[in-house]
Structure 1
Amino acid sequence: MDDSPLQSHPIRRYQGGIWHALDDELAVEEPLELRVGTPEHSQPLSVTMRTPGHDLELARGWLHAEGLLDAVSGISPLQGAPNVLLLTGDAERLLAARREGVTSSACGVCGSGSVEGLMRRVSAPVWTAPPLSPALIARLPDLLRTAQPAFSASGGLHAAGLLGADGTLLSAYEDVGRHNAVDKLVGAALSRLPLDNHCLVTSSRAGFEIVQKALLAGIPVVVTVGAPSSLAAETALSLGLTLVGFARGGRFNVYAGAERIGG
């Protein structure tokens, strides 16, 4: 399977009264299917649209968010089937989860339960570091932007970055789906969960699924360049998450958890 996040596409561009023939870089979007069973006999669990690359991290992060990671003993590409990962483990539990509505497409949490269910699974994330400076928060999106090479070339991908309490960018992942980018980030950091004293910064809006994935990973601070939804803000308030939105142009809004921010 081709893991390139970009694909060249011929276009005609009209500019300054003149037509130009050239190639443009587009963000690749392809389905990734998770199947359960053996190479000889497997059943579908989930299909999501994503940018190829870091598929194992994406799968692990998604399974972690759905509370299914401990039911999986192995994840591997299904031979002869591009864009398919085979899960081995507790097939009965995994397929039961599918029947209960875990299977998702565009949305990382569609059908995966209520806020009350989330509240039973997590506790308030831990922040013992000094308060974050407003100046640092204001520059986090620009810092993430330096780790978005595919976006720079295509303009068509979201990104999620994990930062330490001092603002050091530790890792960053890109994908056409904002929730996929976060799943890749969490999946790569599973051995270090919970991520106390870390920040998640995304190039997207703050929907509920972003807040959910941060809480399940133990991340106490989320910074996004777009607006939060009402459910995201209410969930952040209820579960002790610091939620910052509209972080761009040197400005930002704090929707929950202002005590973690200095000044």
Structure 2
Amino acid sequence: MRQAAISQAGLSVQRDGRRAVLRSLPDEVPVAMVFNGTTQAVMMASPADLCDFARGFARSEGIVETVDQIETLEIVEHDAGIEARMWLADDRGAQLKARRRALLGPVGCGLCGIDSLEAALRPLPCVTASLHLDASEVAHATDALRAHQPLHDQTHAAHAAGFLQPGQGIVLAREDVGRHNALDKLIGALDARGLDPASGAVVLTSRVSVEMVQKTVMAGIPALIAVSAPTAQALRLAQDAGLTVAAFARGGGFDLYAHPERIIDGERHVV
């Protein structure tokens, strides 16, 4: 199996001189998502936790509603890349034909090659979970996620997505060179562990884009916390879908943009 990080010799050029270095760098390979014998998407991804990636991609893209609709899953390596081969229950296979898309893009690309503009902003279900998060947990969520990023510590070139449960901190995390891939892996890992997506919040080391909102909502997760900024379109989608969004969560504070009723400060909701 390919490794998520490899050692690479190089030359470090600094103001005080040059020196030979040996660094751990993140690897990336083409990963094809194959459903019922047909490739739906090809993405450059870290070659780790690929079963989680496949399940999470299938869930967050709406290809399946529950992981038991994936009847078989196998990871097949080739010289040119890796296939995640999935066979779906009959009813999901029929619906899949209506959503056929081909995707080949840069690292972590979530929308390249999508069939239509309408598909890019597909209608989302409404998240109604009554999750309550303490404001101090939200403010320190991205700091807490740092303890769950071994690939980043090795390479300084990987994103992470974590799952924060009230009173328990980050209970699960996944990493990848692509932010979309890290979130898909996390969603797949939640399913594999039997953790209720409605019981916590996604924590991201990235900005909040349209596709990150879409994936979070499709997984049934009611809150999203990110270290960086949201886009305006992402916030419009989040507001309509009932998703709580906290951004710029760093340095002991955060900005709250959508559905603040899930964030509490002591006994009071933050509004």
TM tier, smaller:
0.7 to 0.9
Distance change >3 Å, CA 36–CA 133, structure 1 → 2: closer
Structure 1 residues 87 and 204 mapped into 2: Cα distance closer, same or farther (>3 Å)?
Answer: same
1:236 aligns with 2:242: no
Q: Give the deviation of 1:47 after TM superposition.
A: 0.3
2:129 corresponds to which letter in structure 1?
V
Give deviations 1:58-116, integer Å, cap 9, x for gaps: 01111112221266421112365651122223556545532xx3646443345372545
Alignment partner of 1:117 out of 120, 123, 136: 123
Aligned to 2:7: 8
Q: d(CA) in 1 for partners of 2:77 and 2:109?
A: 27
- Asked whether the 8 Å contact 1:31–1:47 carries over to 2, the reply is yes
Gapped runs of 5+ residues in structure 1? none
More off after superposition, 240-249 vs 69-78: 69-78
Structure 1: distance between partners of 2:97 and 2:76: 18
Amino acid at match of 1:181: A
Instruction: Report the Cα distance in structure 2 between the residues aligned to 1:79 and 1:245, rounded to whole angstroms.
Output: 38
Secondary structure at the counterpart of residue 21 of structure 2 = strand
Q: Would you identify which runs of 4 or more consecutive aligned residues in structure 1 move more than 6 Å?
A: none
Normalising by structure 1, report the TM-score.
0.86
Identity of aligned residues (%): 32
Q: Classify 1:189/1:102 alpha carbon distance in 2 versus 1 (closer, same or farther; 3 Å).
A: farther
181-190 or 74-83: bigger deviation: 74-83
CA distance in 2, matches of 1:64, 1:254: 27
The corresponding residue for 1:252 is 254
Q: Give the distance between the partners of 1:183 and 1:197, measured in 2 at CA.
A: 17
2:171 pairs with 1:170? yes
Q: Is the contact made by 2:140 and 2:253 (CA closer than 8 Å) also made in structure 1?
A: no
Contact 2:162 2:203 in 1 (8 A): yes
Paired residues for 1:1-263 under 5 Å: 1-2=1-2, 4-37=3-36, 42-69=37-64, 72-78=70-76, 82-89=81-88, 90=90, 93-98=95-100, 101=101, 103=103, 105=105, 106-110=108-112, 111=114, 113-115=119-121, 117-118=123-124, 122-129=125-132, 132-190=133-191, 192=194, 194-263=196-265
Q: CA RMSD in A?
A: 2.3
Structure 2 length as normaliser, TM-score? 0.84
Contact 2:127 2:221 (C-alpha < 8 Å) held by counterparts: no
Distance of aligned partners of 1:80 and 1:28 in 2 relative to their CA distance in 1, 3 Å threshold: closer
Contact 1:125 1:215 (C-alpha < 8 Å) held by counterparts: no
Residues 85, 114 of structure 1: CA spacing in aligned structure 2 closer, same or farther, 3 A cutoff?
A: closer
Distance 1:133 1:254 in 2: 13
Distance in 2 of aligned mates of 1:76 and 1:259: 42
Tell me how far apart the structure 2 counterparts of residues 230 and 96 of structure 1 sit (CA, whole Å). Answer: 29
Give the partner amino acid of 1:125: T
How many residues align? The count is: 251
CA distance, structure 2, for counterparts of residue 241 and residue 198 of structure 1: 12
The alpha-carbon distance between structure 1 residues 61 and 109, as it changes in their structure 2 partners (threshold 3 A), is farther
Which is further off, 250-259 or 12-21?
12-21
- For 1:24 and 1:47, locate their aligned partners in 2 and report how far apart those are by CA, in whole Å: 28
Name the CA shift for 1:186/1:104 in 2 (closer, same or farther; >3 Å).
Answer: farther
Instruction: Give a deviation string over 1:105-157, Cα, whole Å, max 9, x none.
Output: 44334537254522xxx22230244xx23222111111000110110121100
Q: Against the structure 1 CA distance between its residues 232 and 80, is the aligned structure 2 distance closer, same or farther, given a 3 Å change threshold? A: closer
Deviations, residues 156-187 of structure 1 (Å, cap 9, x unaligned): 00000001122421100000111111101111
Does structure 1 conserve the Cα–Cα contact (< 8 Å) formed by 2:29 and 2:46?
Answer: yes
Is the partner of 1:185 in helix, strand or coil? helix
On the 8 A contact 1:125/1:219 being kept in 2, the answer is no
Greater alpha carbon shift after TM alignment, 87-96 vs 47-56: 87-96
Mind listing any 5+ residue stretches in structure 2 that lack a counterpart?
Answer: 266-271
Distance 1:66 1:128, change over 3 A: closer
Residue 219 (structure 1) shift: 1.0
